[in-house]
Amino acid sequence: MRRRFAELDRFGFGLPADAPVGSLRAADQQKVEILRAVARRVRLIVMDEPTTSLTPDEASRLFDVMREQARQGTTIIFISHALESVLALADTLTVLRDGRVVRTGPAARETVETLVKAMIGRSLDAIFPARVPPPSDSPVVLSVRGLATAGWVRDVSFDVRRGEIVGLAGLIGSGRSEVAHALSGAARLDAGSLELEGRPLQIRSPRDAVRRGIALLPESRKAQGLVLDGSVLDNITLPHLNEFQRAGVVSQSRQEKRVTELADQVGLKAPSLRAPVASLSGGNQQKVMFAKWLCNPLRVLVADEPTRGVDIGAKQAIYELLVGLAGRGLAVVLISSELEEVLELSHRVLVMRQGRLAGELDIAHADESSVLHLAFGTGEGREAA
């Protein structure tokens, strides 16, 4: 078995052979799934969004192995919203919209623009909503000073104002998700301080954070954000059951009324409020998480990879939701591995590198090159103090 594991090392994923899978980061768990599929030496492999947690180098190595498998006679069905990768890899493309086949044909005839138009019926230019800057006198909602977490993140400081979307960029493993967990009570602070609207903030658990109006949309909705076998109604109201109780009894009518309002607010499409979340599309599962945290008054939303594994139509809906929430005064911290999302949605961009804040970029002067220079430590941008 160890010899077979060593053979799979050509991927360069660097996974520890003896580590329990449950102890690995979401990105490493995805690598395990990929290796397991290839190790079985089957005739057909279905890969559903295999690159969502991989670095560009890791994705490139995966693509090399996919091509090798195809040359050896393995049929691969590659499901992905990374359209450039689809065009580079596929021989034949099938486009689906609303559960129906739009068209099937040679990949060589398609471009990113034609695929987007086929998928959503609109051009790529219309995907991102207009960015409205917060007022110049907008007050600071969340202040972070000297934040440090166990073993990795050190001396991270920044502010987020009311109505502002602050993008947190960086390579996978740079510490972005660790910052998100610390802000939301999912990880303990080793050092540093937080202030919420000018007052000292102590967060010891996610429950503390929710009570103060701070919520996290986690990186993995299936592993961290949702009870997949639970209903839409239960997933949205579970953290807030006290709000629906009278004399210790939960009022189902009040639950249903509130969840119906929230479903309309976030554009959630489900067969019924009693439908299991596992039966929904990835985009609608994400909307369930949004609705869950909008059930009670919210001040700060930390969104960690909010569009991971959803189609481009759902991405547009999530973009509009984030911009709309900021427009209503919410402070938003946006973490995304898709630089285009960070650059098109954020008012400021903070770049993480090796557990520290590498620098800050004003959105007027930010582009992919300047973000990557900071992420790799090659300069450009205002260095963090």
- pLDDT tier, 117 (very low <50, low <70, confident <90, very high otherwise): confident
pLDDT at 121 over 80: no
pLDDT at 127 over 90: no
Highest-confidence segment of 43-47, 90-94, 379-383 = 90-94
pLDDT at 294 over 70: yes
**pLDDT given at position 183:** 93
Structural domains for the chain = 2-90 (3.40.50.300), 140-383 (3.40.50.300)
- pLDDT tier, 319 (very low <50, low <70, confident <90, very high otherwise): very high
93 to 53, 71, 83, 104, 332: CA distances (angstroms): 23, 18, 11, 6, 36
**pLDDT given at position 122:** 65
Write the pLDDT tens digit of every residue in 260-275: 999 999 999 999 999 9
When the pLDDT of each residue in the chain is averaged and rounded to a whole number, the result is 87
Write the pLDDT tens digit of every residue in 328-380: 999 999 999 889 999 999 999 999 999 999 999 999 889 988 998 899 887 55
Nearest to 259 by CA among 226, 235, 283, 282: 235
**pLDDT given at position 35:** 79
Q: Mean pLDDT lowest for which of 66-75, 207-216, 245-254, 368-377?
A: 245-254
Q: Which two tokens stand for residue 318?
A: 């999530």
Tell me the percentage of the chain whose pLDDT exceeds 90: 50
pLDDT at 105 over 90: yes
Average pLDDT of span 34-41: 78
**pLDDT given at position 241:** 81
pLDDT at 27 over 80: no
pLDDT at 252 over 80: yes
CA dihedral 107, 108, 113, 117 (to 10 degrees): -50
Average pLDDT of span 71-91: 90
- Residues near 156 by Cβ (< 8 Å), separated by ≥ 6? 144, 146, 147, 148, 175, 179, 192, 352, 356, 357
Q: Which two tokens stand for residue 350?
A: 């903070």
Write the pLDDT tens digit of every residue in 145-160: 999 998 789 999 999 9
- pLDDT tier, 223 (very low <50, low <70, confident <90, very high otherwise): confident
**pLDDT given at position 258:** 93
Whole-angstrom Cα distance, residue 59 to residue 349?
Answer: 25
Nearest to 183 by CA among 329, 334, 59: 334
- pLDDT tier, 385 (very low <50, low <70, confident <90, very high otherwise): very low
* Mutual angle of helices 56-71 and 26-39, in 10-degree steps: 10
Neighbours of 356 (CB within 10 A): 18
